[in-house]
Structures are given as C-alpha cells and as structure tokens.
Amino acid sequence: MELPDLPLVMALAQRVPAAPHWPDSVWRQMVEKTGPSRCILVAAGEQQVFGFCVVAYGVDEAELESIVIDPAMQRRGLGRRLLQAAMQASWQSGAKRILLEVRASNQPAQHLYAQAGFLPTGRRSGYYTDPKEDAICMECRLDAETVAGNPAR
Ligand SMILES: CC(C)(COP(=O)(O)OP(=O)(O)OC[C@H]1O[C@@H](n2cnc3c(N)ncnc32)[C@H](O)[C@@H]1OP(=O)(O)O)[C@@H](O)C(=O)NCCC(=O)NCCS
C-alpha cells in the first residue's frame, strides 16, 4: 500500500461493518510508518482498491490485524490471495507464526483462515464491543509449505 491508496482504503473500511474503524490519523500514521513493524497490503486495480490487509510484526511472530475485501468483490479468491501474501511477507520478515483474533460469529473469515492452515488456539470472552462478542484466537505456523499455500492437514 502507498499513500495515494489511503483514501480508497479508508472509504472501503467505512463501508464494511467488520472492518477496523480507525481514525484517519491512525491510518495515516500506519501508512507512513510501515517498515520493520507493520505491513499493509492492498488488492488493487487501476485507481481501485478491492481489499486490504494489515499485519503487525513482533519478535518471531506476526499478528493479522485486519483483512477486508470489498463486498462486491468477495468470493472470487481475493481474500485467499491477500492472506497468502500477508503470510509470505510475515515469513520473509522472520516471523515463525502468525496470530489473529476473529469474532466468534464470523464464519466466512474463520473458513478463510482454516483453509490457509490456521488452527483455533483459544477463546477470549467478551473481547469485542459493538456488539459484545467473544473472539476466537487462531494461529498458523509459518514454513515453506504454509506460505506457499499448502497447509499441512
Ligand atoms: C473474510 C473475507 C476477507 C473473505 O474474502 P473473500 O475474497 O470473499 O474470500 P475468498 O473468495 O478468497 O474465499 C476463500 C475462502 O474463504 C472462505 N469463505 C469466504 N467467504 C465465505 C462465506 N461467505 N461463507 C463461508 N466461507 C467463506 C471459504 O473457505 C473460501 O474458500 P472456497 O471458496 O474454496 O469455499 C471477506 O468475507 C470480508 O472482507 N469480510 C468482511 C471483513 C471481515 O470479516 N474480515 C475478517 C475480520 S477483520
């Protein structure tokens, strides 16, 4: 993602209820400070953004903070490709695993993650607000197989 993508990414985030609703200043800061600690990827066409994904890097591990595909473009494989790209970028940055939380009711996202090799590792009671809901914690070990899209089964 580059700075010119930002208005389109923020507009997409506003249209999707499950997207993060960070203030403009937070988005801007994240884009300007991507580098060793964070990676933002977009699925983009010419002057169009179909989806985005935000990953934060820690020591040895990465956290998938968000992945969103434009509702008009869902179920065409873009989410899978974006997630794969995020896993590859995380692995290349030195992460050995990638973690995430997802709303317990968000079955599409849980299916996407499971298909990519994520396994549930726990549940956080009342983690989300508006509406209040538990989070399912998921994790995927990063290795040559999983980042190539061939999760161990
Ligand atoms: C979750 C999301 C990113 C998936 O993106 P997508 O581009 O539609 O997903 P893909 O077309 O790449 O599908 C990949 C897999 O995800 C799962 N999946 C996607 N949409 C699904 C749905 N509506 N129901 C069940 N499974 C679904 C399936 O396992 C699918 O594989 P399949 O096509 O072989 O069945 C998209 O639905 C989205 O943006 N949702 C709103 C935001 C969100 O909830 N993000 C996650 C939390 S931040």
Helices (H), the chain: 6-15, 24-32, 78-92, 107-116, 144-147
Atom number, ligand 1, closest to the C-alpha of residue 20: 48
* pTM (whole model) above 0.75: yes
**In the chain, domain spans:** 3-147
Q: Which CATH architecture has domain 3-147?
A: 3-Layer(aba) Sandwich (3.40)
| Distance (Å) of CA 111 to CA 59, 108, 153 | 27, 5, 14
Q: What is the pLDDT of residue 34?
A: 63
Residue 142 has a pLDDT of 96
The arrangement of strands across the sheet holding 48-57 comes to 38-45, 48-57, 61-69, 97-103, 133-141, 119-128
pLDDT digits (tens, 9 = 90+) for 86-144: 999 999 999 999 999 999 999 999 999 999 999 999 999 999 998 999 999 999 999 98
Q: Is the dihedral of CA 62, 129, 17, 23 positive or negative?
A: negative
Q: Output the residue whose Cα is nearest ligand 1's atom 24.
A: 108
Q: Is pLDDT at 48 greater than 70 in this prediction?
A: yes
- How far does the centroid of ligand 1 lie from the alpha carbon of residue 110, in Å? 8
